[in-house]
Structure formats: structure tokens, C-alpha cells
Amino acid sequence: MKDIQSFDAWQEAFESNPKGLLFVKTDGCSVCEGLRPQVEAIEDDYPTVPFFKVNIAQVPEVAGQLSLFTAPVVILWESGREVQRFARFVPMQELQFRLKLLDGGSADV
């Protein structure tokens, strides 16, 4: 996962990648720390979907612009629009299903 260190870096990542995944965490979030390795572990399974992560405690503008009220959040986007958002509790099987579709795979998992 590539780190996003500023709001401008997030805008660049979103605009220059036709699709992607954004993992949002914050400081002191045990759920975030438990989920992050699970999401990182599947990154190589979806080669056409770049993965990014941002700490909203360090880049609060991202939280404001994306209307994020909790963490962790996993956002998938395609063609300049958000196509899926998972907040707080992220069902990994559902995330993998959505990533497979985004990666160009068929809907059968």
C-alpha cells in the first residue's frame, strides 16, 4: 500500500488511477491495526487495482472531503467515482468479491 501524506497526494492518486482502493485509519484504532494486515495481504491478488492508505489523524482534510466519520474505512473507486465503501467492520469476503469485479474478474467467487 502506498502512503498518502497530504490531501494533494490523495487527489493525485484518485485522479491519476482509473480505479483503486483507499484504506483509511486513525491513531489509536485497534480495529484499524487489525484490519490493515488483512487488506495488505490481498493486495497482490488484484494487480490492476492500486492500494493506498491514509491516516486521517495526520491528513484530516481527507476525512472532511470524503465525509468520513469513523475508522477504519475502505473505499473502492472506478472511473472517478466511489463504487463501494466499507466502514468500521469490513467483511473480507465481500471486499474480495468487490475487488475481483473491479480487477476485471467475473462475479463468481
Torsion of CA 73, 63, 20, 98, to 10 degrees: 30
* pLDDT, block means (10 residues), the chain with 109 residues: 96 95 96 95 95 96 92 95 93 95 70
The answer to whether residues 75 and 85 touch, using CB atoms and an 8 Å cutoff, is: yes
pTM of the model: 0.92
Amino acid at 103: D
| Architecture of the 2-102 domain | 3-Layer(aba) Sandwich (3.40)
C-alpha cell at 26: 486513525
What residue segments make up the domains of the chain, in order of their start?
2-102
